[in-house]
Every structure is written in structure tokens, then in C-alpha cells.
Amino acid sequence: MEKDILTLGIESSCDETAASIVKNGREILSNIVDTQIPIHEKYGGVVPEIASRNHIEAISRVVKKALEEANVTFDDIDAITPTYGPGLVGALLVGLSYAKALAFAINKPLVGVNHIQGHIASNYITYPDLKPPFLCMMMSGGNTQIVHVKNYTEFEVLGKTRDDAIGEAFDKVARVVGLGYPGGPKVDKLAKEGQPVFDLPKTHFDNLDFSFSGIKTAVINLNHKTPDINKADLCNSFEKAVTEVLIENIKKAVETTGVKTIALAGGVSANSYIRNEFLKLEEQGIKIYMPDLKLCTDNAAMIASAGYYNFIAGKSDELDLNAIPNLKL
């Protein structure tokens, strides 16, 4: 019987300080997330310097708690798998520096993880039987991409946003209509009370790229020109428009690749309207996978899972591994 492999994931790319122990890339033994949302809420968004300082304060405590909850010690860990990009450089450096020091101190392999790869891997935890190849609709505050997941460590980006990421657009719309931060969940909640009465412009390309700036700007202009506008209707219309763009492009990706398995990933994949609309694709013979809601937003379990697949593929990094804020998949 093969030995179980335990990976210690460390995530600090934005405003969540997280650590997790995952067994064999699929089974969560612990998943600790120390969120900074209450801290940044009053600023209307993440303040990078404040995020970094809070990561420094939380990282040791969070890792210790992850070990305790998993009932393991550092001796039981097979690899240290931190996020090294993309993200806020100061925030990334806190988790990565801690991971490098830890790997050196306990003489364990260091295996860096791309944050986007981590989001994709959240589906492996939710669905133990899911295996590549499949298409991933990656939707977060910093990224919107259609990714062809060819195997556990090989990816091809088929299309990406040319301006705002979809999560960024959600946050800006939320700010404009007075909902505050974080915008995604608040827009989703208010949209349930409205109707899609506004016809918002959608940008189309010959390839699989996205653009959300036009939809976002149209929402901003409508809100400014009509002070008494129904905010719920506006949010509902926005949500419908961006989802139609996502669906249109993912259907083109299915036609292009012949791959009829789609996994959602990233914080915006928690949006209830988007999830429901993607599920409707199953009526067309397309299989849809969606991460558990707790795994949609930033967490370290997804990083530990991705780290596991990097580790068993033979990847390891030297202690001079640096944070790359604009790291590509």
C-alpha cells in the first residue's frame, strides 16, 4: 500500500491568511482561513499594506491551528506548498517567506503553487472522481479565463479578459450602487429582488476573450443619470449580462475543443445566478462541476491540493523562489 502524502498549503495572495493540510490531493484534514474582510470593509476594498501587516500577525497562528486540527506534526508533512503568485506582492511575500523558512528549518521540499492552479484544484477536493481533461471557467477578482486543463499540471489559456476581471467588475458595481465591499455576495443578494429590465451592452470578440468594462460603465452611467433607479433591477441586469457573456464563450470553447466537461473556479463561481445558468448547460450534454461554496473563495486547501499534484509530478523549488504578482498560468 502506498504511503499517504500530506501537503501543507499556505495562501496569502490577497486578504485571507490561510493554511491547510490535505491528504493525497483530495481529502481535507484541516482548512483554516483568517479573513481580513472586516478590516478592509471600511476602506471599500483591500489596502495592500494593511493586508501584508495582518498576514504577518496571523501566519504562524494559522499554520499552528491547521496542524492541530489535522492532528499532525511537521514531521508528518511531505511538502510545503505556498502560493507564489499571482496576487499582491507584499501579501504573497509573507506567506512565501514563511514557507521557505519553514521548509529550510524542517528540511522538507518547497513546492510553489500558482494561485489560479489552486482555484482549479478546488474541484478535485469537491469531486474525488474528477480527472482532467476538462475546461475550467476561472472567475475571480483578479482573473477571468477559460482554461483547458489538459492534465493536473498542464494548462492552456483559451481566452481571458482584456480589461476588468469579472470579480473586479462586481466590486465596482457594488461600490457605485452603495453596497460596499465585498461586492460580489452583496450584488448577488440584491439582484434576487430585481428583474433584468435594463439592456446592457455586451462586447464580443472573434476569439474567446472577454471584456466587462462596457457593461460596468453602462451600469455606472445609468446609476448616475437616474438617482432613483431601482438598484435591485440594475444589479439583476448586470448579473444577467455578464453571465450571458460567460456562457457564450464557454459554449464556443466546447465547440472548439470538443471537451464537454466544465468546472467552475474562483470567488465569482459562488454566485448563485451564474451557478444556476451553468447548470442549464447540462441539458445540452455538458457536464458541470462547481466547487463547494467554502472552496470558491481564497483558501489553502486548494493550494495544498494543487501542490500535491505538482509534488508527485516531480516539481520542487529552491529557497530563492520569489513572489510573482503577475504570474501567468
User: SS3 of 3, please?
Assistant: coil
Strand-by-strand arrangement of the 79-85 sheet: 27-35, 16-23, 6-11, 79-85, 113-114
pLDDT digits (tens, 9 = 90+) for 12-54: 998 889 999 999 999 999 999 987 777 777 767 778 788 889 8
Instruction: Find the mean pLDDT for residues 287-309.
Output: 97
The 10 Å CB-count burial string (b at 16+, else e) for 124-157 is bbbeeebebebbbbbbbbbbbbbbbbeebbebeb
One-letter amino acid for residue 191 of the chain:
A
The Cα–Cα gap between 79 and 308 comes to 8
Say if residues 168 and 269 touch (Cβ distance below 8 Å).
Answer: no
Alpha-helical runs (H) found in 178-230: 183-191, 213-225
Place of cell 475571480: 140
Global pTM? 0.94
Q: Looking at per-residue confidence, does 155 or 142 come out higher?
A: 155
Count Cβ atoms below 10 Å from residue 11 Cβ, excluding itself.
30
Question: Per-residue confidence at 1, pLDDT binned at 50, 70, 90?
Answer: low
Q: Please give the domain boundaries of the chain with CATH numbers for all domains.
A: 6-119+296-312 (3.30.420.40), 132-293 (3.30.420.40)
Question: Per-residue confidence at 11, pLDDT binned at 50, 70, 90?
Answer: very high
Instruction: Find the mean pLDDT for residues 269-287.
Output: 96
Strands 261-265 and 134-139: parallel
Instruction: Find the mean pLDDT for residues 298-321.
Output: 97
The Cα–Cα gap between 163 and 174 comes to 18
Residue 121 reports pLDDT greater than 90: yes
In the prediction, which pLDDT does 320 show? 95
Closest to 128 (Cα-Cα) out of 280, 23, 271: 23
